[in-house]
Structure 1
Amino acid sequence: MATTQRKVVVFPSKNELYEAMAKYTANLSAKFCKEKGLFTVVLSGGDLIDWLCKLVQPPYIDSIEWSKWHVFWVDERVCSWDDPNSNYKLAMDGFLCKVPIPSQNIYAIDKHLASDGNAENCATLYEECLRNLVKENIIPICAKTGFPQFDLELLGMGPDGHMASLFPGHNQINEKEKWVTYITDSPKQPPKRITFTLPVINSALYNLMAVCDKEQAHAVAEIMKQNKPLPSAHLSAQVENVWYLDQAAASML
């Protein structure tokens, strides 16, 4: 597995954190578009989409090579695309509809299976999608781990220390073989979800964990002080594992 050290940056305000996220993402986009002609980005749900607001403003909206982006989800709620709980809907309404990424480069959960509520089949089909993109040389395989390697994953953390849909006290965090797994009893509604497994998350070249607000401060402190093995404490990356915190999230450090 990856061995990168965690880098922590605390920002005086949310606005400065949002600006830093945009700059970080835009710089990596430029790097990978130049080096290999495409950029694979993994999104999470929750407030993260709102925090990407600077990317749809100058100078980023006009300078990023959006046509070369390939967009994925680290986890998804098993519900219809137009359900308010859908991470796809959240990202589409708040971010993706505002940038010219080709629709064929946006890899959402299967629309029909999601509407049917079959979490296991949704996970299987999403993994098949990833495997096909490996064959098409869109996603490489990490030489160190043998799992798909995304360029950048933009992640968030819940107050309980969960990331993606890997929750404390649930076995999905221990999955070592599958690329995508599922959960039907999530402690956070809705209960049915699919999620990247930890080996996939940690095979990314760059992982950016953004955490804002005081509700997350206790979990942040537990992770940074290595007091509890919460799911987000296991986050690593092949090149860089960076945490962006606002003052409230860092208030218990």
Structure 2
Amino acid sequence: MIGQPSLYAFPDSSALQQNLYQYILQAQSDALARHQKFKVAVSGGSLPKLLASPDLLSSSDIHWDRWEIFFADERAVPLTHPESNYALLEQEFLSKIPRTRPRPTVYHIDPNMLSDTQELADAYERALIGSFAAKDSVKLPIFDLLLLGCGPDGHTCSLFPGRELLREEVAWVAAIEDSPKPPLRRITLTLPIVTHALKIAFVATGAEKKEVLRKIFDTHPEAEGQEVLPCALVNLGAGHKVSWFCDQAAVEGVSFPKKSSL
């Protein structure tokens, strides 16, 4: 049974970060009870900064040496470029892990393949295959946790509304040549990979998100044969595996039932 996503609303960023830390800690515990690694995919935007909470960074319960971090999407730019999700994660999160602690394993794009977006996507898919086992024996990789954002247009990863890419069912990683927001050239995990994850956490904050969250949670366009926003497709496809971490400003006017703690 797919069930419903959980929508959490917190009074401020500190409470959000504390609850997100507890959620990540439980996801890590569940993962390490199943296998030796904690396989996580992250997106960019404001997420890396919100991840870098004192609770998470200083916790002795976080086993960084067991983490494998992938990117839910990435821009076809050098790793040091201001628009690189890797550069953002390094600056806002990874660099803040105490130097006395081990570093997680991070799978970034191959900067030698930036001239060919499809080659870049194929190489990143091979990196996933290498971590998740041979593709012929694993139809879809199963991430322990996806940490995602939500754009004001309802996009997540680099899965944008109204795009044919939302119907992709074979590729694990797709190339994008004409993103509706710059930079134009990107790679992204496809929708089946996202919804196949064991846990999916969206982080959405600020009043500028309230309109799109009302569309995601309170409208039902699929019943009327209308376009469904990518974030709503994740809710529909993954159901109870999805948790939304929001502040009060982001959920103002949202009718969907909200929770105040894990």
Residue identity matched to 1:120 = Q
Residue identity matched to 1:195 = T
Structure 2 residue aligned with 1:241? 242
- Please say if 1:169 is aligned against 2:162: yes
Q: How big is the shift at 1:101?
A: 4.9
Task: Give the secondary-structure state (helix, strand or coil) at the position aligned to 2:60.
Answer: helix
- Please say if 1:150 is aligned against 2:150: no
**How does the TM-score come out when normalised to structure 2?**
0.86
Whether the 8 Å CA contact 2:5–2:239 is kept in 1: the answer is no
Whether the 8 Å CA contact 2:171–2:190 is kept in 1: the answer is yes
CA–CA separation in structure 2 for the residues paired with 1:81 and 1:175: 27
- Shifted more, 156-165 versus 170-179: the winner is 170-179
| Cα shift readout 1:72-110 (whole Å, capped 9, x = no counterpart) | 00000110000000000000111122334546x210011
Structure 1 residue aligned with 2:87? 89
Residue identity matched to 2:117 = A
What aligned pairs does 1:212-231 form with structure 2 within 5 A after superposition? 212-228=205-221, 229-231=228-230
CA–CA separation in structure 2 for the residues paired with 1:22 and 1:66: 14
CA–CA separation in structure 1 for the residues paired with 2:110 and 2:57: 34
Whether the 8 Å CA contact 1:205–1:238 is kept in 2: the answer is no
Among 58, 64, 73, the residue aligned to 1:75: 73
Structure 2 residue aligned with 1:251? 252
| Cα shift readout 1:151-173 (whole Å, capped 9, x = no counterpart) | 00001100000000000122111
Whether the 8 Å CA contact 1:203–1:238 is kept in 2: the answer is no
Residue identity matched to 2:111 = K
CA–CA separation in structure 2 for the residues paired with 1:133 and 1:49: 23
Instruction: Return closer, same or farther for 1:36/1:193 CA change in 2, 3 Å cut-off.
Output: same
Structure 1 residue aligned with 2:224? none
Task: Give the secondary-structure state (helix, strand or coil) at the position aligned to 2:113.
Answer: helix
Whether the 8 Å CA contact 2:205–2:247 is kept in 1: the answer is yes
| Cα shift readout 1:179-209 (whole Å, capped 9, x = no counterpart) | 0001111111111110000000000000011
RMSD (CA atoms)? 2.1
Task: Give the secondary-structure state (helix, strand or coil) at the position aligned to 2:238.
Answer: coil
CA–CA separation in structure 2 for the residues paired with 1:199 and 1:241: 14
Residue identity matched to 2:96 = K
Structure 1 residue aligned with 2:38? 39
Residue identity matched to 2:60 = D
Among 190, 196, 204, the residue aligned to 1:197: 190
CA–CA separation in structure 1 for the residues paired with 2:39 and 2:217: 28
- Shifted more, 73-82 versus 125-134: the winner is 125-134
Instruction: Give percent identity, aligned residues only.
Output: 33
CA–CA separation in structure 1 for the residues paired with 2:162 and 2:247: 27
CA–CA separation in structure 2 for the residues paired with 1:51 and 1:197: 24
Structure 1 residue aligned with 2:106? 106
**How does the TM-score come out when normalised to structure 1?**
0.89
Instruction: Return closer, same or farther for 1:72/1:205 CA change in 2, 3 Å cut-off.
Output: same
Whether the 8 Å CA contact 1:33–1:65 is kept in 2: the answer is no
Residue identity matched to 2:196 = S
Whether the 8 Å CA contact 1:211–1:244 is kept in 2: the answer is yes
Among 117, 121, 124, the residue aligned to 1:123: 121
Whether the 8 Å CA contact 2:179–2:185 is kept in 1: the answer is yes
Q: How big is the shift at 1:34?
A: 3.5
Among 199, 209, 224, the residue aligned to 2:202: 209
Q: How big is the shift at 1:215?
A: 1.3
Q: How big is the shift at 1:24?
A: 0.7
- Unaligned 5+ residue runs, structure 1? none
Aligned pair count reads 242
- Please say if 1:187 is aligned against 2:187: no
Task: Give the secondary-structure state (helix, strand or coil) at the position aligned to 1:182.
Answer: strand
